[in-house]
A and B are shown apart, each in its own frame.
Chain A
Amino acid sequence: MKSSYYRLHAITGVWHYIGREALVALCFLLLLIASPVSAADMRFQERSLYMSSTIPGEAASYTISFRYMSPEPVGSVDMLFCTDPIPYHPCIPPPGLDVSNASLVEQDGETGFTVGSQSDHHIVLSRSPQAITATAPSSYKFTNIVNPSDTNQAFAIRLRSHASLDGTGSQIDFGSIRGQVTESIIIQTQVPPMLIFCVAEEVDDSCAGTNQNFYRDMGSLSDQTTLTAQSQMAVGTNASGGFAITASGAPMSAGTNVIDSPDTPEPSRPGTNQFAINLVENDQPAVGANPSGAWTNAVVSPDYAQPNRYKYTSGDVVAYSPNVSLMRKFTVSYILNSHRDLKPGVYSTTVNYIASGRF
């Protein structure tokens, strides 16, 4: 048995050493493959864009600045204008942008460039290849660029430096710069966003009419029963950010006597001092209704969306929509309970419902 083992070891012994060497060689090979193709392939630093005007569609001058990071000789700088800054994504030209008539009027830092070629969204700067010597950011000012027209979308300039004269071949440095046109108060190119809002005891779905009643007598306070009331509000917006409705107002009071409101949702408790609201249908007591309307993305805030549980905190957002929501109607339920020791008086409050856009 022992002799056969030695014989096997003698036969495979050579392979043991070869295996070890092969393993080391394989590791080297993997390291070579895994290492970057070019150590000089770096991002431009301190990249910025200054637009002399950010008005959509207007002719402006653009000053593009960046710091070269690799010392390799550069013969061209490729500037590609796209909606997306990621260099390996397909380039969609920003709508309305036109750089085909752009002129290079100033350059600072690494200089000697001229416009080698250009199209409506592409400029290639060219010079005889020279090593990078500037340590500060270099800047290039172009005039006669027509701004993009879409204020809702930023755009990007994808930059690449090359050793070649025409922006071809392997890149040396790369990076993107962000730019955006802003709303013009002169040119209205889009349907302006609107926020529609109405409040009353009863309102139409479209806010075209209300019952013109903006107050409610809830009756005489009793420690045995819960007083109830309800009001309605309709809201809609075509603003992409949606809307929010905030309820604001002091707790119910008569002079210095105040009926407190719970700051967490709780059931109606007859015999205790309690003024609270919610925005859904309840059966304890029977009051209110669920929101109505097709735009279900407009919702009641979680604290005010629990049936038979009520709260009221001034400044709370009671309903909101995260995006465009055409008309939706909300019904607010009010409950009022009182302790038998509550001082007599006319208790009242005014709840101000504030509709705002979102940012």
Chain B
Amino acid sequence: MKRFKSIALAAVAVVMVAVSAMPAAPVDAASSAALSIVPKKNYVIEPGKSVNDTLTIRNLDNNEPLELSMRVVDFTFHDDGGTPKLMLAEDAPQTTWSLKPFLKVPKSVTIAPNASKTLDMSVAIPKGHGAGSYYSAIVYSSGGSEEGNVGLSASGVTLVFTQIPGKVKEDLKLERLGAYYLAVPGGREAKYVKFATEKPEAIAYTLKNNGNVTEAPVGSITLKHMLGQEKVINDINPNSSLALIGQTRTFTSCIKLESEEVDFQGRASQTSACTTPSLWPGRYSIELNAFYGQNGNRTQEIVATSSFWYLPWWFIAVVIILIVILTFVVWRTVNAVRGRLYGSKIKKSSRRRR
């Protein structure tokens, strides 16, 4: 019996050693990291009501299933642009505009290769909740690898915005208005310009949001050349960009906008981009007429003017050449007139002296 026990224990020990010595299977290697999601959701929900909606996620990988874990995080802004700054830390403090307490999403999902899944989600606003804008982000994470020196993980994010109607505090302050150079990859940075030697593609305005709601201004910009040429930008916020709570946001409006229809994953989509406008050299005045205001609140207006000079190098060169030519002509004319007026007297006086 003793012998049998020792043989059995030895066998168990061998099996355990053998199992622990086996290489760990690369768990994540068999999962997809290619997904398609909805980037943004917008809701208007009255206090005491809820919205039930769906999230459609597609696994783009033809061979492997997509395993995603999902969680809700808060976000704010990075700079004066529209890039969200996600608060990913587990212990990140909840923001005052957080939608986390009201937003429900599943914790995980597995999607078969080249298939899509529709998940239920809901936003429920408690009774008596104050009006304003509330926003958070749903993060979908594929499993990261624990192997190697550098592991890779892919995540997608859906930004969720909810307006709770009612009386809100709306306060946008204009900080800057002017001609604007858009960023050139690997070259020039985006910036306001007062004296432009190249044609500015856009007019920009910077607004500081001191209210308790996100704002998307609308309106128009009128561009007037010193000699009367006039251009009107009818839509100053074509992408319905938002100034988040507390953000100083720069909105850009193309002076000349070109749109085209493109095919995206088999569906028609509209794309637009700034192109080089036709501008005459000289001084331009800019007049901004912007409006904002939530449903049921006062419509507020921002009226402002600014100006810029467009002086291309060729124009500066032409002006300099013209000035030189003009100076030369004046100098020659003055000399010629002097010669005619005083030249004969000088000759006469010199004759008298003789």
Contact = CB atoms under 8 A, between A and B. Distances in A.
B146 interface: yes
A348 B86 contact: no
A110 B269 CA distance: 47
B191 interface: no
Given A209-B63, A357-B159, A300 B185 contact: yes
Contacts of B37: 194-195, 197
Nearest to A254: B149
B82 A241 contact: yes
A206 B34 CA distance: 10
Interface stretch (B38-46, B101-109, B321-329, B337-345): B38-46
Contacts of A322: 81-82
Contact of A185 (B32, B51, B60): B51
Interface in B79-103: 81-86, 88
A326 B271 CA distance: 10
Interface band, chain B:
35 or more
A145 interface: no
B195 interface: no
B40 A239 contact: yes
B153 A178 contact: no
A48 B239 contact: no
Nearest to B182: A322
Interface string A234-263: 001111111110101000100000000000
A26 B82 CA distance: 54
B64 A214 contact: no
Interface stretch (A30-38, A83-91, A101-109, A122-130): A83-91
Given A241-B241, A358-B81, A359-B40, A84 B220 contact: yes
A209 to B, nearest CB: 6
Nearest to A219: B149
Contacts of B292: 178
Contacts of B301: 43, 175-176
Given A196-B60, A231-B152, A354 B139 contact: yes
B150 interface: yes
A213 B29 contact: yes
A322 B142 CA distance: 25
Contact of A299 (B148, B183, B242): B183
Given A47-B299, A178-B291, A195-B39, A156 B218 contact: yes
A299 to B, nearest CB: 4
A233 interface: yes
A352 B235 CA distance: 37
A310 interface: no
B335 interface: no
Nearest to B149: A218
Contacts of A180: 216, 218, 295
Contact of B35 (A175, A197, A206, A315): A197
Contacts of B41: 183
A212 B63 CA distance: 9
Contacts of A183: 41-43
A164 interface: no
A47 B43 contact: no
A256 to B, nearest CB: 17
B269 A358 contact: no
Interface in B294-349: 295-299, 301
A352 B220 contact: no
Interface in A283-329: 296-297, 299-300, 302, 305, 315, 317, 320, 322-324, 326
B62 A85 contact: no
Given A324-B271, A324-B272, A197 B34 contact: yes
A191 B267 CA distance: 7
Interface string B18-42: 0000000010111011111111111
Contacts of B40: 193, 239, 241, 357, 359
B286 interface: no
A229 interface: yes
A223 B28 CA distance: 32
Interface string A179-195: 11011010000011111
A6 interface: no
A324 B29 contact: no
Contacts of A244: 83-84
Interface string B260-271: 001011011111
A192 B29 CA distance: 31
Interface in A1-59: 43, 46-51, 54
B272 A198 contact: no
B157 interface: yes
A181 B146 CA distance: 47
Interface of A: 43, 46-51, 54, 63, 83-86, 89, 152-154, 156, 175-180, 182-183, 185, 191-201, 203, 206-210, 212-218, 227, 229, 231, 233, 236-244, 246, 248, 252, 296-297, 299-300, 302, 305, 315, 317, 320, 322-324, 326, 334, 336, 346-359
29 contacts: A49-B296, A85-B220, A156-B291, A177-B293, A178-B293, A191-B269, A194-B38, A196-B60, A203-B34, A208-B34, A210-B34, A214-B145, A215-B146, A237-B39, A238-B262, A238-B267, A240-B240, A299-B183, A300-B185, A315-B88, A322-B81, A323-B272, A347-B149, A349-B150, A350-B145, A350-B150, A355-B154, A358-B82, A359-B244
Given A198-B154, A200-B34, 15 more contacts: A85-B220, A191-B269, A195-B156, A215-B151, A218-B150, A252-B149, A297-B273, A302-B189, A317-B78, A324-B272, A350-B150, A351-B151, A352-B154, A355-B155, A359-B159
